[in-house]
Amino acid sequence: MMLTGLLAAVLAAQPAPATPGTEGEPVRVERRLLLKRGHVFTTGGLGYLSRGDYYSNPGLVASGSWYPVESGGLELKLAFFLSRLGAAGAEVFDGTGLVPDAHRPVAMLAAGWRQTLGYGKVLVGESRLVHFDFQLAGHLGLLITDRGVSPSPMAGPGVLMRLGPRFHAQLDVPAVLSFEQRSRGLLSLGVLPTLTLGVVL
């Protein structure tokens, strides 16, 4: 009991730590480094279109975004898919000679808008700050398949990360809706996660 009281007295005698800036001490604020207005962000990388059908659709993705304002920009996106029958589809084909009524994706072209929802910084290691934007992107596109062309709107969240003065990374996870004539209806819903790297022009 006496030890507890002695410890409380010692802590009470210690001066409270000053809040930075309240005692006239300078406070270093890291300025915003991920600036987009008036710049073109070009990227290229990998994606995977998952639609819950019998096809496996890894792809190569490229995009270009021009930001007339800091809060958002116009974007053009292009993807080429290296589609093939998945294990279940190949088993059905080997056993029956039939292929799924799902269309096999070949390529996609889409145009839309990227809107910044928030800006943040995270400390990596002891001294490296990574600046990033939380974004929401919406596009109107065309999905080219082995049986034709179908309209394909897409929308979803993304993160734009600054890797250096001229380099950046972009992670997007949009939902993709396509209109295809299938035995179970006209709509096919999927997701197209992409990770791309690029330069700022």
User: Does 80 score more than 80 pLDDT?
Assistant: yes
Fold of 34-200: Porin (2.40.160)
- Per domain, the residue ranges of the chain are 34-200
Identify the pLDDT of residue 46.
98
pTM recorded for the entire structure:
0.78
CB 170, CB 148: distance < 8 Å: no
pLDDT confidence bin for 85, thresholds 50/70/90 = confident
* Tens digit of each residue's pLDDT (9 = 90 or more) over 21-64: 556 566 566 678 899 999 999 999 999 999 888 889 999 999 99
Measured distance CA(65)–CA(54) in Å, rounded: 33
